[in-house]
Amino acid sequence: MKRILIVDDDITLRTALIRYLSNRGYSVEDAGSGAEALLLFEQAPPDLVVSDVVMPGMDGLEFCRRLRASQSGQLVPFIFLSSRKEVDDRIQGHQMGADDYVVKPFDPKELIAKIEAQLERSRRIHAEISRLAQHSQQAAPQTAPVVRPNPLPLTPAEEKVFWEVIQGFTNKQIGDRLFVSPRTVQTHLSNILSKLQLESRSQLIRYAFERGYHPPVSADRFSSEH
């Protein structure tokens, strides 16, 4: 049974979503703020997160940013559910790491469709990671040079960040490894997403694996975590 975390300060909406999703076979947990949701996530990461944007204390954008900065939260499907409907609001949501953005008021059937689509995409990503991990173990020694199918349209600094991101490192870890600040890493990551016409970190990882950009270290790291 897939587990979904609902994050919204509107208890009436949370209750309705819990009932609706539970009736469709999902296990649902809920939180009224980003801070509360972060604690629940750290205790037991769900399979997918649906979060409001405007909440007291830690809002949804900060919650998403912190989630994506953690090792366990980088690939978890994340959907924003918000009354903010302007294009800039949706863009900001994607830039923070969200995989999708649903505007209130919404049709519950649309939300279910988006949840199922994100869960299926997550399943395919992890299945491909496992396949690549097995292939890596059976292939040539890890000392063999990494084959890069096509040149990346990135600067040297951006390309270094690209290879670190697809190995599953957080911005802080990448900063430590490349001797730059996490803010600099985020700037490079934003440029990478823009140049490759992607919207989130998880889409970048999927892009890399689908096109053969997968250093052996990356496969080993993910296979041990999933």
Q: Read off the tokens for 97.
A: 């790491």
Using the predicted structure, report yes or no on whether residue 152 has a pLDDT greater than 70: yes
**Is residue 76's pLDDT more than 60?**
yes
d(CA 107, CA 101): 13
State the average pLDDT over residues 102-123: 91
- 213 pLDDT tier (thresholds 50, 70, 90): confident
pLDDT computed for residue 127 by the predictor: 79
State the pLDDT at residue 54. 92
**Mean pLDDT across the stretch 24-45?**
93
Mean pLDDT of the chain: 84
What pLDDT does 111 receive? 93
Higher pLDDT, residue 186 or 132? 186
- List, for residues 127-145, the tens digit of each pLDDT value: 777 777 676 666 555 555 5
Cα–Cα distances in angstroms (integers) from residue 213 to residues 180, 201, 206, 207, in the given order: 23, 15, 10, 8
Q: What percent of the chain has pLDDT over 90?
A: 39
Residue 40, C-beta contacts closer than 8 angstroms, at least 6 positions apart: 5, 29, 31
* pTM of model > 0.85: no
Map out the domains of the chain with their CATH numbers.
3-120 (3.40.50.2300), 141-225 (1.10.10.10)
pLDDT at 63: 93
- Phi, psi values for residue 166, rounded to 5°: -75, -5
Question: What confidence category does residue 217 fall into, taking pLDDT thresholds of 50, 70 and 90?
Answer: very low
Q: Which of 46-55, 92-101, 207-216 has the highest mean predicted lDDT (pLDDT)?
A: 46-55
| SS3 state at 19 | helix
Q: What pLDDT, on a 0 to 100 scale, did the predictor assign at position 10?
A: 94
pLDDT greater than 80 at residue 94 = yes
Ranges 30-34, 41-45, 119-123, 219-223: which has the least confidence: 219-223
Q: What is the reported pLDDT for 12? A: 94
Separation of alpha carbons 88 and 5, rounded Å:
25
Question: Is residue 22 predicted with pLDDT exceeding 90?
Answer: yes
Beta strands across the sheet bearing 3-7 = 27-31, 3-7, 48-51, 78-82, 100-103
Tokens matching residue 214? 């997968």
